[in-house]
Amino acid sequence: MNNLYDVIIIGSGPAGLSAALYAARARMKTLILERTKVGGQIVTTDEVANYPGSVEDATGPSLIARMEKQVESFGAERKKDNIKEVDFSGKIKLLRGESEEYQAKAVIIATGASPRHIGCPGENKLIGKGVSYCATCDADFFQDLEVFVVGGGDSAVEEAIYLTKFARKVTIVHRRDELRAAKSIQEKAFKNEKIHFMWNTVVDEIKGEGILESAVFKNTQTGETHEYFADEEDGTFGIFVFTGYLPINNLFKEKIQLNEGGYIITNDKMETNIEGVFAAGDIREKPLRQVVTATADGAIAAVQAEKYIENNF
């Protein structure tokens, strides 16, 4: 059974790579399965200033590249395969990919979550070039510039408040005329002089050649549109999108306990409700989704997987 591993990790973002590092260092036969690109959400970030010990010019891709090198140096195996189905019902867990079938004594799920996009033309092209889904990561680039925050939930309003520490003006663009965010958070935003609101408005199109230059806003009541252009002196501005996150959970629905939002519920040992199946990183129900918490989850999951295997095989 060549394809029997001690630990299989699904996903190769920071949580998966950290889990692989700890698993491989513990001399477990470890496989990381990655779908298309390595690295997860962080590779879309140009600067990683909030990861402790990050080197000065660290980018998302460079941080991931260092993690990959470290993981490979301890002998973790890596394969690109799109897992289509999992069977966690037996003691040996089965994973069916497009190319191969895999077996493992323990599985660590690190498939992550992805921010819900606006879905308008131009958005994807300008990610990292004015369009962002993470204020903690990117606020710094918008020092004294104008930014728009799309969404009306807790994340949008809290992040808008955070962005006022950097940006000259922050406009919350919300599709309705009242916020979804908790009242206490709303009150702080209404008191903040730098925060403005565009009610009943959605972003219809985002434009720019290599950098964000303009955005078309549409009134949801009247259907009227207007185009906002970057201030000439600034040359650009920011659009931060906080319209919710989507956990990447398709494989696990009805197989593992998820919360209402579709995130996997774990305890502080990263154990799911299925013995031998652990979850780490953004796919978990948790209060802070950052590289630093993902890597910590990965380490805990791998150590617990090792203990589980010792006790059960």
List residues binding ligand NAP (CB under 6 A). Answer: 116, 118, 150-156, 158, 175-176, 180, 202, 242-245
Is 134 assigned a catalytic role? yes
Closer CB to ligand NAP, residue 91 or residue 176? 176
Closer CB to ligand NAP, residue 237 or residue 245? 245
Q: Determine the Cα–Cα distance for residues 284 and 270; give it in Å rounded to an integer.
A: 8
* Residue listed under structure tokens 């070039």: 129
Contact between 189 and 195 (Cβ < 8 Å): yes
**Least distance (Å) between residue 140 CB and ligand NAP:** 20
- Exactly one of 6, 87, 120, 134 is catalytic; which is it? 134
Closer CB to ligand NAP, residue 224 or residue 231? 224
Is 120 assigned a catalytic role? no
**Least distance (Å) between residue 115 CB and ligand NAP:** 8
Which among 65, 71, 64, 67 has a CA at the least distance from the CA of 28? 71
Rounded to the nearest angstrom, the gap between the alpha carbon of residue 155 and the centroid of all alpha carbons in its chain is 14
Is 137 assigned a catalytic role? yes
Closer CB to ligand NAP, residue 67 or residue 135? 135
Cβ-proximal residues to 43 (8 Å cutoff; 6+ apart), any chain:
37, 60, 61, 64
Kindly report the backbone phi and psi dihedral angles of residue 257, in degrees, each rounded to the nearest multiple of 5, phi listed first.
-70, 125
**Least distance (Å) between residue 159 CB and ligand NAP:** 8
| Burial degree of 3 (CB within 10 A; 0-12, 13-18, 19+) | middle
Closer CB to ligand NAP, residue 72 or residue 123? 123
What the block records as the tokens of 209 is 């050649």
**Least distance (Å) between residue 134 CB and ligand NAP:** 12
- Exactly one of 6, 46, 57, 138 is catalytic; which is it? 138
For the stretch 203-228, what's the b/e string if a residue is b when 16 or more beta carbons lie within 10 angstroms of its beta carbon? bbbbbbeeebbebbbbeeeeeeeeeb
Q: Which residue is nearest to ligand NAP (CB)?
A: 153
**Least distance (Å) between residue 99 CB and ligand NAP:** 35
Cβ count within 10 A of residue 27: 11
Known catalytic residues are 134, 137-138
